[in-house]
A = this chain, B = another copy of it.
Amino acid sequence: MPGLAPDRPGDALGLVAGGGSLPRLVAEAARASGWRVVVVRIGDGMADDWSGYEGGAYPWGRTGDAIAYMKSCGVQRMVFCGTVSHRPDFRSLIPSFQTLIRLPAALKIVRGGDDRLLRALSRYMERQGFEMLAVQDIVPQLLTPGGTLTRRMPDADEEQALVLAARAAGRLGELDIGQAVVASRDRVIALEGIEGTREMLQRVADLKSRGRIGRSERCVLVKSVKPTQDERFDLPSIGGATIEEAAVAGITVIGATAGRSLVLGIDDVLEAAEAAGIAIVGLEPDPGTANGDHGGDRP
């Protein structure tokens, strides 16, 4: 599964990089495929160390400058990835001249909220003449395979919990809300809003430590793609940090939609999961539902 190579070796790829480990994986894979990677740091990635790559950090107020910069680098194709957890507010939009002339569009983008931010920005970029690529175009090997990926398998109770969590995640997804749900066999425990998966898992850990979740009540985490989602942006992902956070929360199985979510460094993730006694399952989307209840190949 090789990633997309440039038409000519050394063609520029614009990497608009938020926080987390994903932008690095994309940059390395792109470079290995022959791209010249130009990194524009935004959101949580603003302070990350990208030495060794061309690029710069751009606050929201300088979106226009970032575009001008990428054009000057010869960027025609672009990937957005990484986390943007702070919603830009009007103060942070005090614009540079380049941004000022694009202000009406920028304001429209900001209104949509964090969750739709990358999507809205990317539509804007397309109107600016850039071609938007998906992370999985560059690094297809990140896509979650189907079936149980760990030696540890979910048991019957955990299978039931996966079904319940996947159904809830589907309902949330239809409303373009969070992508993650924690459930046990008997009930839904926690639903991701704007706080993100990490903070939701911290909440579950806290509920567990206070006895609000029974000692014998095994909990699963499901991360599910939204049916409304442009799959080029912000696919749900599982990384090393997810495993650590899930283990602290007492999660025993993590399910993610097969082929429509990302595992960031699968060897390390599976090794960490086995060590923590966590099963990882690529959930097959159910064709009968909008968002894929867990079909499951076990009874």
Contact = CB atoms under 8 A, between A and B. Distances in A.
Given A187-B115, A188-B175, A194 B168 contact: no
Contacts of A172: 171, 191
Which residue among A89, A186, A191 has the maximum number of chain B CB atoms within 10 Å of its CB?
A191
B175 A171 contact: yes
A217 B172 CA distance: 21
B187 A207 contact: no
Contact of A216 (B90, B215, B217): B90
Interface of A: 85-87, 89-91, 111-116, 167-168, 171-172, 174-178, 182, 184, 186-195, 203, 207, 211-217
Given A113-B186, A172-B171, A207 B191 contact: no
28 contacts: A85-B212, A86-B212, A87-B212, A87-B214, A87-B217, A90-B214, A91-B215, A111-B186, A113-B186, A113-B187, A114-B187, A168-B175, A168-B177, A172-B191, A175-B188, A176-B188, A177-B191, A189-B193, A189-B194, A190-B193, A190-B195, A191-B191, A191-B193, A193-B203, A194-B207, A194-B212, A194-B213, A195-B203
Which residue among A85, A112, A171, A193 has the maximum number of chain B CB atoms within 10 Å of its CB?
A193
Which residue among A184, A190, A217 has the maximum number of chain B CB atoms within 10 Å of its CB?
A190
Which residue among A167, A168, A178 has the maximum number of chain B CB atoms within 10 Å of its CB?
A168
A214 to B, nearest CB: 4
Contacts of A85: 212
Contacts of A168: 175, 177
A216 B171 CA distance: 28
A86 B207 contact: no
Contacts of A113: 184, 186-187
Given A87-B212, A194-B212, A207-B194, A177 B186 contact: no
Contact of A178 (B171, B174, B191, B192): B191
A184 B177 CA distance: 12
Contacts of A178: 191
Contacts of A184: 113
Nearest to A217: B87
Contacts of A186: 111-113
A177 B189 CA distance: 8
Nearest to A115: B187
